[in-house]
Amino acid sequence: MQEISTIQQMKDWSRQSRNNEQRLGLVPTMGFLHEGHLNLVRHSLAQCDRTVVSIFVNPIQFGPGEDLARYPIDLERDKKLLADLGVDAVFIPKKDELVPPDMNTFVQVENLTEHLCGHSRPEFFRGVTTIVLKLFHIVQPDVAIFGEKDRQQLEVVRKMIEDLNLDIQIVGLPTIRESDGVALSSRNSYLSPEERESARSIVQALESGKSLILNGETSAEIVKNQMRSVIASRTGTRIDYISVCDPRRFGEIQRIENPVMLAMAVHIGNTRLIDNYLVEKNSCKEPC
């Protein structure tokens, strides 16, 4: 596995791959890899001739008072995991090169980012799309792979690709969960044992909402109230948002038809976690 730290090196490596007509896959990450990330990497390895994994804790997607300073980092562990899988290159750009101090250009996808995480974290999506687009220009992948736990982010990236006419296939893969259903997240490492137990309320709330819908409930407010009550039953929880929304545009839905997304962001102690389910009333899908 080649370790690449500069933009020019990454461009040169990518150009060589494309000159050899090799299909190139990119898995963008912020590191501290878990099985969810590794599942994305395995998909790229299976579908592409060469795979690049980027590791970059993106400072411009964090707002004031968020967890940038304490975001978990273990580059040596990450590199070993990727090398063991057979990844071709890991791109670990330097912050001042990818986000120079005099940077004045940013990318904003409108409308889709007004809801859910975009409403509660106004800086978030502009930071995500700006850095993802820069990575796309630097790496020039044929395929980029994301997880559906961040479904809003996935759809925002897809819209950016569509609007800017980029020739990149965006692949979304289902959320990987622990044995008790809790979605894998790098931020789970923040949780104390008691907080980890309370984190189960998130998937339990989603399950309760899904059950209501599959049993015929059509009122989004009733479903949201049920999910709120599950979260509130656990100690140390604080709801950022709970939503029953359109799974592509993310606007709130009042009357539930097909399909809907149940989404939430919940603070467990000082840790903010997100999760979602895609629910179809007539043909229940697996949790996303």
Whether the per-residue pLDDT at 284 is higher than 70: the answer is: no
Would you give the DSSP letter of residue 286? P
- DSSP calls for 83-144: HHHT-SEEE---HHHHS-TT--------SGGGSHHHHH-TTHHHHHHHHHHHHHHHH--SEE
End-to-end CA distance of the chain: 31
Sorted by where each begins, the domain ranges of the chain are 2-173, 186-277
What is the model's pTM? 0.95
* Average pLDDT of the chain, as a whole number: 96
pLDDT at 283: 53
CATH architecture of residue range(s) 2-173: 3-Layer(aba) Sandwich (3.40)
Query: What CATH code would you report for 186-277?
Result: 3.30.1300.10
Kindly name the residue from 37, 43, 119, 267 that is annotated as catalytic. 37
Q: At what angle do helices 124-139 and 7-19 cross, to 10 degrees?
A: 50
Whether the per-residue pLDDT at 269 is higher than 90: the answer is: yes
The yes-or-no answer on residue 37 being catalytic is yes
Do 2-173 and 186-277 come out as alike in CATH topology?
A: no
